[in-house]
Amino acid sequence: MSVHLYKGRLMSSEARREIGLQRAAELKGRILDYLEARDDIPSGLEKATAAEIDAGRRRIMAYFGAGEADWEDWRWQLTHRITTVDVLEELLPLTAAEKEGIRRVERTYRWAVSPYYLSLMGRDATCPIRRQALPDAAELEDNTGILDPMDEELTSPAPAITRRYPDRLIINVTNQCAMYCRHCQRRRNIGELDRGRSRRELEQALAYIRRNEEIRDVLVTGGDALMLSDAMIDWLLTELDRIPHVEIKRLGTRVPVTLPQRITPELCRILSQHPPLYLNTQFNYPREVTAAARAACDRLVQAGVVLGNQAVLLKGINNHPFIMRKLNQELLKIRVRPYYIFHAKPVKGTAHFITSIAEGMEIMEQLRGYTSGLAVPTYIVNAPHGLGKTPILPQYVLARNDRQVVLRTWEKRTLFYPDTGHRDEEQPAGA
């Protein structure tokens, strides 16, 4: 039997092991509630849910008289987007109230859903997939939202450009998406027709970037960046590669979620030629993490693309700590790093999705320490009027002075931590 000094006391290895076992049991007890609940949160990778999704896929294919090759063709998916109640009710059970609500909303706001994303929908009206894709009469009852809460129209110094930060900017390349999410922050741009930016507008955007050497990071988004043709994507990324001060490119796209068929071998071949390239997508619910989404992400990773997720916190969809925890854990399985949780913006027509910030804070409390750090994104509130992303964090530093800080751990334990280091005296840059 070995004896070691532990906290000022001599303690045998058996006694220390017993302390370790007690602590392990305590830690397991902290997640028993989640372990009991997680099986009731459907993931698209789980056998039963995957079978439901496959049944939906076969039903939609039969309706359109489509074969497997059609289903895997992203252009077929786009040309067969569901845009009318008449087609929708042939594929999904709808109540009279739902049908009337969709018909009312479509007079004001456009909607479209890809056959693939429709196949993910459950049969119940409360399905989180349905709520993200199908119009709801509540969209017309929003008296508080505004069209452009981020003042993007006032932060555009050149065509197609949005700039809110010193060293990075957005090129907005199209208004087209595979599906028009009901919580979309740019629904004002959807219009009646899909329109990409003209070559002339994109050349003006590139000229602006060339003139401003502080721009090192360019996000290509929309709409959806991957709704551009392969040739246009290749041309735009090549032009950005030729600008010496642009260090990284990013793509904003939801197609791994709503149209994974778009991630073709040819597209991946093109993307592989433009490192370093980062792609941020938007999975909002574990059911969206399917075998098809995993295959698309695998192709992107093999092409050298770094993947991140920017979920949006949405009432009735993912505003529960266990749902967000399982979502982030499922994403890590398919090599997508949870990056942000966005607080929903007050966009006109979306008020019914907006949660309280307190709910977002509670979700963050139930992530840090309860799951791996890789599964803990940053909770972000986009400051209005284009003032940028503001992280909202639980308070872990309770007090501080020159000698110590008072910390709160993820278990809400308070401790005094010595802060005895000394700051280096400020020196001029380059000294």
Surface-to-core class of residue 133, CB atoms within 10 Å of its CB (0-12 exposed, 13-18 middle, 19+ buried): buried
By the 8 A CB rule, do 53 and 120 touch? yes
Backbone angles phi, psi at 174, to 5 degrees: -165, 160
Q: Are residues 8 and 156 in the same domain?
A: no
Look at 209 and 14; give whichever has higher pLDDT: 209
Whole-angstrom distance, CA of residue 216 vs CA of residue 243: 9
Whole-angstrom distance, CA of residue 53 vs CA of residue 60: 11
Range of weakest confidence among 144-148, 234-238, 349-353: 144-148
In a domain, 35, yes or no: no
On the question of pLDDT at 40 being above 60, the answer is yes
Following CA atoms 137, 140, 145, 147 in sequence, which dihedral angle do they give, to the nearest 10 degrees? 110
Q: Are residues 14 and 72 in the same domain?
A: no
In a domain, 417, yes or no: no
In a domain, 421, yes or no: no
Determine what percent of the chain falls in helix, strand and coil, rounding each to the nearest 5.
40, 20, 40
Whole-angstrom distance, CA of residue 208 vs CA of residue 195: 22
What confidence category does residue 190 fall into, taking pLDDT thresholds of 50, 70 and 90? Answer: confident
Residue 192 has what pLDDT?
66
Q: Are residues 83 and 214 in the same domain?
A: yes
Residue 294 has what pLDDT?
98
* Secondary structure (3-state) at 274: coil
By the 8 A CB rule, do 182 and 354 touch? no
Residue 7 has what pLDDT?
65
Q: Which residue's entry shows tokens 């505004």?
A: 146
Residue 370 has what pLDDT?
97
Whole-angstrom distance, CA of residue 237 vs CA of residue 239: 5
Residue 128 has what pLDDT?
97
Q: Mind listing the pLDDT tens digit for each residue in 280-306? A: 999 999 999 999 999 999 999 999 999
Q: Are residues 233 and 95 in the same domain?
A: yes
What would the mean pLDDT of 31-52 be, rounded to a whole number? 97
In a domain, 117, yes or no: yes
Average pLDDT of the residues of the chain: 93
Sequential DSSP letters for 87-142: HHHHHS---HHHHHHHHHHTTTS---B-HHHHHT--SSTT-HHHHHHS--GGGGG-
Q: Are residues 159 and 260 in the same domain?
A: yes
- Percentage of the chain beyond pLDDT 70 is 95
* Secondary structure (3-state) at 268: helix
Q: Mind listing the pLDDT tens digit for each residue in 208-237? A: 999 999 999 999 999 999 999 999 999 999
Residue 4 has what pLDDT?
60
What would the mean pLDDT of 393-405 be, rounded to a whole number? 92
Q: Are residues 241 and 378 in the same domain?
A: yes
In a domain, 399, yes or no: no
Q: Are residues 24 and 173 in the same domain?
A: no
Residue 191 has what pLDDT?
63
pTM for this predicted structure = 0.93
Residue 69 has what pLDDT?
98
Q: Mind listing the pLDDT tens digit for each residue in 356-382? A: 999 999 999 999 999 999 999 999 998
Whole-angstrom distance, CA of residue 272 vs CA of residue 268: 6
Total number of domains in the chain = 2
Q: Are residues 88 and 209 in the same domain?
A: yes
Q: Mind listing the pLDDT tens digit for each residue in 98-121? A: 999 999 999 999 999 999 999 999
Q: Residue 147 is part of which domain span?
A: 41-394
On the question of pLDDT at 6 being above 90, the answer is no
Q: Mind listing the pLDDT tens digit for each residue in 193-208? A: 788 899 999 999 999 9
Provide the 10 A C-beta neighbour count for residue 249.
22
